[in-house]
Amino acid sequence: MDAIAAKPFSASDFRLRATRQKGGDADTDYGDHRLNPDLRHLIVRPNLRDAAVLIPIVDHGGEANVLLTKRTEKLRSHSGQVAFPGGAIDPTDASPEDAAVRETLEEIGLGAADIEVVGRMPDYVTGSGYRIAPVLGIVRPDYFLTINEDEVDDAFEVPLAFLMDPANHRRESRIWQDRERFFYTMPFGERYIWGVTAGIIRTLYERLYT
């Protein structure tokens, strides 16, 4: 199936877009500092911790969804926030892709047999000190989740079409270290998608859908 035949927000079309973009483009600078260039020196800094997340695209035929998690309230960092499954890259991980799949298995029970890795985007630098490798994957619709309650409160799907519509990308701000800091939000019903997760989604839109 080619790009013309595939519906624009199907998993098939996403796979084509993912494989055609250059995932490891080190010359392109993505991160929280893109909306906050005056804070770049505080965000892009030495000794960033390497992490990886999976962007799981659930194949529902003509319309794909994105699988997201809600982090448990008892976590020390980013508690209660909507997030992609993922975490720190361990020395035993062969690649960021392996780290993303391993973390996804640990958090929600989806493993390599459930995920078709189809690409990777450039790293995304966060204000909390991480360099995140976003890994792109296709998940079959009959998946079964095993939630790790120590890390995740819930998992849910959001239509890819909703997240790839720039009309749903709001720019908001808060005061951080006595400065106004801008970030994206993408409210979806009772779910409040914001911060790093929204920033990565915005990057996905810029890389694959513009």
Task: Kindly report, residue by residue over 135-190, the tens digit of the pLDDT.
Answer: 999 999 999 999 999 889 999 999 999 999 999 999 999 987 788 999 999 999 99
- Six token digits for residue 202: 């915005």
| Confidence grade of residue 34 (pLDDT, cut at 50, 70, 90) | very high
pLDDT in tens, 130-141: 999 999 999 999
pLDDT in tens, 84-123: 999 999 999 999 999 999 999 999 999 999 999 999 999 9
Question: Is-above-0.85 flag for pTM?
Answer: yes
Domain-wise residue ranges, the chain: 11-208
Instruction: Name the nearest CA neighbour of 57 among 18, 109, 23, 28.
Output: 18
In the chain, pLDDT over 70 holds for what percent of residues?
90
Band (1; pLDDT cuts 50, 70, 90)? very low
Q: Is the predicted pLDDT of residue 25 greater than 90, yes or no?
A: no
**Which residues pair with residue 135 across a beta bridge?**
54, 120
CATH of domain 11-208: 3.90.79.10
Confidence tier at 30 by pLDDT (50, 70, 90): very high
Calpha distance 54→171 (Å, rounded)? 24
- How far apart (Å, rounded) are the C-alpha atoms in residues 58 and 54? 12
For residue 24, what pLDDT band results from cuts at 50, 70 and 90? low
Tell me what pLDDT residue 20 has: 84
